[in-house]
Structure 1
């Protein structure tokens, strides 16, 4: 369904340290002056969090330009989610089965759609970013954790419960008896948190992903090996996804992908090594072109593109 350019979407993005709201145009742009932010965090009460949602939603809606109308709302959130509109972010334990869809609908008076933040990222990149034109693709954020979303046959894949696309929880190796399965996951092996932990176990003295990237770019051997472990783990996961759903393209974001010059190229180069099927070695690997705007653009896309 096409929309006139004076139609707008209210977009809300909820994460572990902040939440944001903005207005999004039918061609995937943020309306200038409509973006507003409030803190989240484990220390905040349910009432505080709900008040922050209300603050940013009202502030965004106050920025509607003359002659425009807001036709719907989209919410992207850290997961898991429960369709049609509840969220239980692991990093916000005070919200469990929280009816965020109902809250935003009540605040805005708009029909509201809720999806995972990784799915919103994928939708944004496929709509107006680095995956534009791709019918089958995955978008991945490699940051503190690993989040992702899938586009299959031109459509966002939400899944039975709304939680499709969790690349970070795929397992990369066998799980030993009594071991936590998470230790074998993509997230534990490839994320900033997991990569820093591995580097420190090898004798590296730093404490953050930013330090690790800087050290690798200065030639630090342990830091480079740690980042290579991350890129190779991600490449292994990608060839598995490509074998399963025949994706053609990948978009990468997050501190590693956007901060380390060789990260995207290393992932692309490793695909051939780990591919069993010929077509999984030919994925097109890109850096995100939308950066920190992607979560909100994708949330707006829940109105215009889903």
Structure 2
């Protein structure tokens, strides 16, 4: 638990600290409880809470009787006082959400990611869509705190620059954050997509305490979000979680890196669709295999496997075993006890994959864990990375940062 400070020059830290404690309290907290949890003096607490009340960020919500003496007034977060926009820039689809201060989705939209388009045009479309979702949500634009973007790496999160994402070949050293900030007039924060996803799970608390966990991201590509000792792991350059080239099947398909059996190219939806085409399970496209075709054919492949089609079952179960090998390698290295699955393509594949992965991990002779591993799926659905991007903005406002104490 963070403790506050009574120095008058650090009101920003104390304000964030009190907001954070109230948010985590669920049903709200009294000033007495806030003083106990923050270590702030009664005078400092009174001054900061009054400021928060005046700004409309919190509200008084009834009285609580805890024994002899004056009833305590409960302070609660005012969810609609401010909002954040979250954007997930996936190579296949772009997802937009607006979150209130409690992280609830109050508006949502989705568009296809343009293919063969210059980044400048994609950013222009992002701007149009962000402005549109704010307008259609009916929210006062002055209440928008900023925009969070979950993007594929590698990237410079601090500088908001996207380098050379493998599945977005037109993007080279693109100043995404600065460009979108200039076109929208809002602060923009950029995060790697898999990190945003696990940050959403951690920040929202939908699955409880993810103290030592792996978030297996299954989208157009694969990735790993990590929580170790309760902290989201970002790495030296905020690019941790690239697991696409873990070799999980030496006899698997040839990867673009020149090796065989890399996790990413072995289990990506497009790879499974190509296997389905070769097996005659779905029709080969007359032109290029585009994202819409992949989306539809991947769903068709899973339906065939669910119906018991032999060829489809082989393709899907082989992919699940490859995922299991990748998961085993990561949990063994980091000694985590929880694996959470999610991402844009996960929900439709969850039943097929979760029917195989836990058992394949448990039965693998390479498993050396001294504790059980829990396997779960995200409760935030396919929009988990977009929600995480929005939470990135909320976290800047609602979570106390020790750096705020540097005066």
Give TM-score, length-normalised by structure 2.
0.65
- The answer to whether residue 218 in structure 2 is matched with residue 142 in structure 1 is yes
- The answer to whether residue 341 in structure 2 is matched with residue 252 in structure 1 is yes
Partners of 2:211 and 2:351 in 1: CA distance: 27
Partners of 1:53 and 1:216 in 2: CA distance: 37
- The answer to whether residue 238 in structure 2 is matched with residue 125 in structure 1 is no
Q: CA deviation at 1:145?
A: 2.6
Greater mean deviation of Cα atoms: 187-196 or 103-112: 103-112
For 1:298, the equivalent position in structure 2 comes to 388
Asked if the contact 2:149/2:191 (under 8 Å) is kept, the reply is: yes
For 1:72, the equivalent position in structure 2 comes to 146
Greater mean deviation of Cα atoms: 68-77 or 191-200: 191-200
1:46 and 1:199, CA in 2 relative to 1: closer, same or farther beyond 3 A? Answer: closer
For 1:210, the equivalent position in structure 2 comes to 299
Asked if the contact 1:239/1:281 (under 8 Å) is kept, the reply is: no
1:272 and 1:38, CA in 2 relative to 1: closer, same or farther beyond 3 A? Answer: closer
Q: CA deviation at 1:81?
A: 1.6
For residue 176 of structure 2, the aligned residue among 87, 100, 118 is 100
Partners of 1:132 and 1:270 in 2: CA distance: 26
Asked if the contact 2:87/2:389 (under 8 Å) is kept, the reply is: yes
RMSD of Structure 2 on Structure 1 (CA): 3.0
Asked if the contact 1:275/1:281 (under 8 Å) is kept, the reply is: no
Partners of 2:113 and 2:165 in 1: CA distance: 11
Correspondence list, 1:165-184, <5 A: 165-174=241-250, 180-184=257-261
For 2:319, the equivalent position in structure 1 comes to 230
Partners of 1:205 and 1:16 in 2: CA distance: 25
1:209 and 1:279, CA in 2 relative to 1: closer, same or farther beyond 3 A? Answer: same
For residue 269 of structure 1, the aligned residue among 359, 371, 381 is 359
- The answer to whether residue 119 in structure 2 is matched with residue 43 in structure 1 is no
Greater mean deviation of Cα atoms: 225-234 or 127-136: 127-136
For residue 264 of structure 2, the aligned residue among 179, 184, 187 is 187
Q: CA deviation at 1:294?
A: 1.3
User: Tell me, which stretches of 5 or more residues in structure 2 are unaligned?
Assistant: 1-15, 24-56, 58-78, 284-296, 397-407
Partners of 1:129 and 1:235 in 2: CA distance: 25
Asked if the contact 2:119/2:170 (under 8 Å) is kept, the reply is: yes
Instruction: Specify which structure has the bigger relative contact order, considering alpha-carbon pairs within 8 angstroms and separated by 6 or more residues.
Output: 1
For residue 11 of structure 1, the aligned residue among 86, 95, 110 is 86
Partners of 1:94 and 1:134 in 2: CA distance: 36
- The answer to whether residue 155 in structure 2 is matched with residue 81 in structure 1 is yes
Q: CA deviation at 1:274?
A: 2.0
User: Tell me, which stretches of 5 or more residues in structure 1 are unaligned?
Assistant: none
Asked if the contact 1:129/1:289 (under 8 Å) is kept, the reply is: no
Q: CA deviation at 1:12?
A: 1.9
For residue 219 of structure 1, the aligned residue among 291, 294, 308 is 308
Q: CA deviation at 1:66?
A: 5.3
Give TM-score, length-normalised by structure 1.
0.85
Q: CA deviation at 1:224?
A: 1.3
Give per-residue Cα distances to partners, 1:199-228, cap 9 Å, x unaligned.
555x45335322221111111122212211
Asked if the contact 1:192/1:209 (under 8 Å) is kept, the reply is: yes
Partners of 2:206 and 2:315 in 1: CA distance: 27
